[in-house]
Chain A
Amino acid sequence: MIKKKIAMVGAFAVGKTSLVQRFVRSIFSEKYQTTIGVKIDQKEVHINGEDVTLLLWDIHGEDDFMKVKPTYLIGSSGYFLVADGTRADTYDTALKLHEMASSVTKNAPFILLINKSDLQDTWEITENQIENLIQQDWQIIYTSAKEGTNVEDAFVQLTQSMLQNQ
């Protein structure tokens, strides 16, 4: 069976762990629990006629207390940049992490997930900011780990891109 590593990177409290837990275990918790270091989960999927084991590297959030080590991304076939739509600064963090991630993974496929789409009324990330990235051919998906919106789709789309890229 094919094994593929996917890294989840982004600022703290954007919902990386919640997205993984929603995808792997179909659960969601309102309580914010900070991730220390790395938590690796696995999920088997059947995509494009192939059985694929996804190794999901849920990497701690980036902030002044903890910086993401580039080595954590080694061997990733693809990665998710995760931002919290309600916090403008998480967009900047995602862009910064993208520079590092694309360099380490040698331009592996990625998707920017703008999470917390259930709170879209209070989003600080603007349509202009999103439009700018779309102009640069970025793939962007609005997700809600809380409601499960687009979570499965996001993982399927990234896996398809990774399989095409291999």
Chain B
Amino acid sequence: MNRPEFTAAITDYIISKIPPYIGLAILQLNEDGQLINWMGSIDKYLDKKPDKHSDIETLAPFLTGMIPPMINPMVLPHIQIKTGHYAEIHIVEDELMHFWVFFVDQTRNAEQLQQLLQEVNSTRLKTKETQNQTDNNHFSAFHLLDFATFIYENESYKPLGNQPVWMKELQQARLLSEKEVAMTEAFPFIEVFQYEAATCWEGKSDAKIESGIWEEETITGRQIYLKAIALHHDQINYLLIRSVNREGRQDNQLIQKAREQKLTLDQLARTERELKKLLDFKNQFVSIVSHDLRSPIGAVIGIANLLLQDEDMLQKLNENQKELLNDISDEMQRLLDYNDKLYHWSNLELGNFKIHLKNFNINELGAYVERMQQMKLKQKSITLVQDFENKSNFELLADETLLGQALNNLVGNAVKFTPEGGTITIGSRVNKGQYEIFVRDTGIGMPESVRIKLFEGFTRKSTMGTFGEKGTGLGLGIVRKIIEAHNFSIHVESEEGQGSNFIISIPAAGEKP
């Protein structure tokens, strides 16, 4: 190797223009482009070992056509001389018409630059790709319909078109504005929906699947209901998200109302159950008390009757005292009657009874009732007429004792409200295919306001009879219970001053309680 002979101009050039000398190699060529001198790491840049007067184009084919240089000096940065090897090349002509070639190693610099360029260009290409898709895609204008649209590929979501207004208001709007959207971070709901979406995204033909509704919040704390649609169209996978606030709110209101009603009904049912418990407790209490009162009341009646039969004692009493003794007997009898009814009524309310059905002749009940009411009928000179259709031909299936008690109460009631000399008719007939048992009187009747509440069981008001008789207010309640237990029905026809007609309707044979 011969050292190059640097002229002043070349020395200046090296100092001012050649970058820090990393792997610097220098070639000096004559006016014919033949190698005269060289120095530095020449083998880094040349394939062959140089000889004096070697032709430069043979020695360094990458310099073919470059000597003489078109401009002086000529600088060629980032020339890949060998695979993975880069150099900056300076070609300079000096005042003696000699040519100088400088090689500066740029491999590291080029690698860094390449990486940077790669990233920049990739992004440029992707943006271009998205822009193209946006321009041409059917769904790119869907934001106008309130949809946020994304293309799903390689397990990532890329936005398509513009964002709808609702999306910009979301707390997670920032996460949704990137070129690659952190979808599942923004909407954890989508993470689960992807499992369903996969069924249509992985298919070959066009398909779609809708998600359920989920709720998000805006920056201002307002609720937004969203729904996602996974779509596979023309071999592209899409995810569309839309605000369903209007539908969501309508659904919400509808379901809210239905559920509130259900809760109210449940509450009512609970209250009813509690009330029933309380009523049962009350009836049980009444049943026990009325049962236990029967013996002492009976004893007082017995003693009063004994005294009333004691002639010796009666002779010692004045008229006023005798009347008081009679009053004791009468009032205690009435108390016993009241107590018995109370006992029956509470047991009926509790369901503490069994119906023993049998066939019997209604005439027998007529006779029974007449016997039971004989004294009261006589006291008020009331005539009891028995009007059973075809007399003994009407047989019915019922509990004879209970039905007898019901008819007895009805006739007793009729006696109470029928003036002296009146008539009560107890009978039966066939009316429109139904059997009917009726108790009709020529009494004072009743207004509609009384009639509609007649069978409601215990009433606070018990109307005084035409003879000043007092009632218990329980009689018709007991009648209703007995009739209902048989699956019969009862109603009353009455007008003030026109008497009353109580009618028990018995369904055609075959319908048993």
Contact = CB atoms under 8 A, between A and B. Distances in A.
A55 to B, nearest CB: 6
A34 interface: yes
A31 B195 CA distance: 35
B47 interface: no
Given A69-B212, A72-B212, A38 B259 contact: no
Given A12-B259, A36-B248, A37-B225, A72 B192 contact: yes
Contact of A66 (B191, B192, B215, B255): B255
Interface in A27-48: 32-40
A63 B261 CA distance: 13
Contacts of A61: 259
Main secondary structure of the interface of A (DSSP, over half): loop
Contacts of B266: 87
- The winner among B192, B248, B266 for most chain A CB atoms within 10 A is B192
Given A13-B263, A63-B259, A66-B255, A36 B192 contact: no
B72 interface: no
A36 B189 CA distance: 14
A34 B189 contact: no
B252 A36 contact: yes
Contacts of B433: none
Interface string B177-203: 000000000001101110110000000
Contacts of B191: 75
Interface string B220-258: 000001000000000000000000000010011001101
A18 B498 CA distance: 66
Nearest to B192: A74
B59 interface: no
A71 interface: yes
Q: Is the interface of B mostly helix, strand, loop or mixed?
A: helix
B213 interface: yes
B189 A40 contact: yes
B243 to A, nearest CB: 13
Interface residues of A, number: 25
Interface string A47-82: 000000001010001010110010110110000000
A95 B387 CA distance: 65
A71 B215 contact: no
A92 to B, nearest CB: 14
Nearest to A55: B188
A37 B214 CA distance: 5
B258 A65 contact: yes
Contact of A32 (B192, B193, B215, B260): B260
Nearest to B258: A65
A65 B255 contact: yes
B221 to A, nearest CB: 11
A124 to B, nearest CB: 8
Contacts of A34: 252, 255-256, 259
B196 A36 contact: no
Nearest to B260: A32
B261 to A, nearest CB: 12
Contacts of A57: 188
Given A34-B256, A63-B259, A74-B195, A39 B188 contact: no
B215 A37 contact: yes
B213 to A, nearest CB: 3
A37 B213 contact: yes
B200 to A, nearest CB: 14
A18 to B, nearest CB: 14
12 contacts: A13-B259, A32-B260, A34-B255, A36-B215, A37-B215, A37-B248, A38-B189, A61-B259, A63-B262, A65-B259, A72-B212, A87-B266
Given A34-B259, A40-B214, 17 more contacts: A13-B259, A13-B263, A32-B256, A32-B263, A35-B215, A36-B215, A36-B252, A36-B255, A37-B214, A38-B212, A38-B213, A65-B258, A66-B255, A71-B195, A75-B191, A75-B192, A87-B266
